[in-house]
Amino acid sequence: MIHKTIEELINEKRETLVIDLRREADYRKETYPGAKNLYWEEFWEHIGELPRDLPLYLICFTGETSDELARELTEQGYEAYSVTGGYRSYLRYRLTQAQKETNDRKQTAERCREIERSIVKKFRKEIWRKFTRAINEYELIEDGDRIAVCISGGKDSMLMAKLFQELERHGKKNFELCFLVMNPGYNELNDQTIRNNAKLLHVPVTVFSSEIFDIVAGEEHSPCYLCARMRRGYLYARAKEMGCNKIALGHHFDDVIETILMGMLYGAQVQTMMPKLHSTNFPGMELIRPLYLVREEAIIHWMNYNDLHFIQCACRFTEKNASYGSEAQSSKRAEVKELIRLLREKNPYVEKNIFRSVENVNLETVIGYKDRDGRHHFLDRYHEPGKCEPKGAGISASEP
């Protein structure tokens, strides 16, 4: 068979030689990508220059001249094909593809608009208002800020990116945004998933690579902790290079309360994940967490409502278990998440209470605490005048 369609040529996986048989003037105006020009009337004068180890695809105007030459080349032992319909078929293919791409762009744009509308309409109470409340309550954005919105590729950071775009669109534009994606060594599927989602959601990302996964691969103790610290360092450094004074991370309400309990149960300390922090190693830089008040279940609902699919933690330690699935059940965070779920079955306010507990710390009723001035113990001030039992701290009649 000496005939091949233009689609077969385009989908050819092997190395090929495409020969444009038209006049040089036509060839110079436009040709098939990578084609070599060899005018059909001079074809046989250059027969010795043609390779026998490559398939030859011949293109003329209509496919008639290429049919005759391909047949003769085949008889001489070459693997030669005539492109059906000639160069005109390539032009028709391009027009069809251009129309298809236009339609795809329109469909993608409409889907993106629907996703954006869902944020400020259907999920206005659960997501949008809590996002803006956190920004206002914790003063996360100031005039003149240039914020690096850090996107890991998961549901949280992707939603955060869209929220920032909505804020920029509907709020006072007193800040600048750049959307930063670091590839710490993702496999090809996860890397492409992030890029595809950014394109679908119209988020103009800047992607840079690091070798964090390779570095932490040999770490036996706390590889996730080391990975997180290194990621943050790389993000701070790149954000600073881009003229940013803040980085935004996608930690949400559930991350906050889980961190509080993890600190108590596994770290023997009372602390929380702060809504914003000054960087220790990068002077002038700050970290902000705009999803601080947004529940994870609301984020999941938004994702499923819009039929979106994001990556989770995609390092080499977890990607076997969770490219799109759940996190490893053996992790301490997963244990705490399950504990909170069980407690919520008996007390629906348990999550709010955990969150508020670190807003209502009474230093008069703790054994000790530490701050920038060092450690403090209740006995240090126990004998000071005026020290008395705090209200509500007495023993009830039912207690022994």
Dump the DSSP string for 248-271.
E----HHHHHHHHHHHHHHHS---
Residue 398, pLDDT score: 37
Local structure of 215: helix, strand or coil: helix
Local structure of 184: helix, strand or coil: coil
Residue 212, pLDDT score: 74
Alpha-carbon distance of 2 to 67, in angstroms, equals 7
Alpha-carbon distance of 303 to 295, in angstroms, equals 13
Query: pLDDT, tens digit, for every residue of 249-302?
Result: 999 999 999 999 999 999 899 999 999 999 999 999 999 999 999 999 999 999
Residue 396, pLDDT score: 40
Query: pLDDT, tens digit, for every residue of 108-137?
Result: 899 999 999 999 999 999 999 999 999 999
Cβ-Cβ contacts under 8 Å for 138 (sequence gap 6 or more): 275, 276, 288, 292
Q: Minimum mean pLDDT among 81-95, 237-251, 304-318: which range?
A: 304-318
Q: Cα–Cα–Cα angle for 226, 140, 340, nearest 5°?
A: 55
Residue 322, pLDDT score: 42
> Does the CA dihedral 23-28-29-35 come out positive or negative?
positive
Pairing of strands 246-248, 286-288: parallel
What kind and span of H or E run contains 82?
Answer: strand 80-83
Confidence of residue 327 (pLDDT cuts 50, 70, 90): very low
Q: Kindly report the backbone phi and psi dihedral angles of residue 241, in degrees, each rounded to the nearest multiple of 5, phi listed first.
A: -60, -30
Q: Cα–Cα–Cα angle for 53, 55, 59, nearest 5°?
A: 140
Q: Is the pLDDT of residue 394 over 70?
A: no
- Largest separation between any pair of C-alpha atoms in the chain: 112
Q: Is the pLDDT of residue 177 over 90?
A: yes
CA 286 to chain centre: 21
Residue 228, pLDDT score: 76
**pTM, to two decimals:** 0.74
Confidence of residue 388 (pLDDT cuts 50, 70, 90): low
Query: pLDDT, tens digit, for every residue of 187-235?
Result: 888 899 999 999 999 999 999 988 777 666 666 665 666 677 788 888 9
Residue 210, pLDDT score: 83
Cβ-Cβ contacts under 8 Å for 361 (sequence gap 6 or more): 270
Q: How much of the chain exceeds pLDDT 70, in percent?
A: 88
Alpha-carbon distance of 183 to 209, in angstroms, equals 5
From the list 110, 153, 117, 104, the residue with the least C-alpha distance to 302 is 117
What kind and span of H or E run contains 164?
Answer: helix 155-170
Alpha helix ranges (H) inside 11-128: 24-29, 64-75, 86-120
**Facing residues of 209 across strands?**
183
Residue 392, pLDDT score: 55
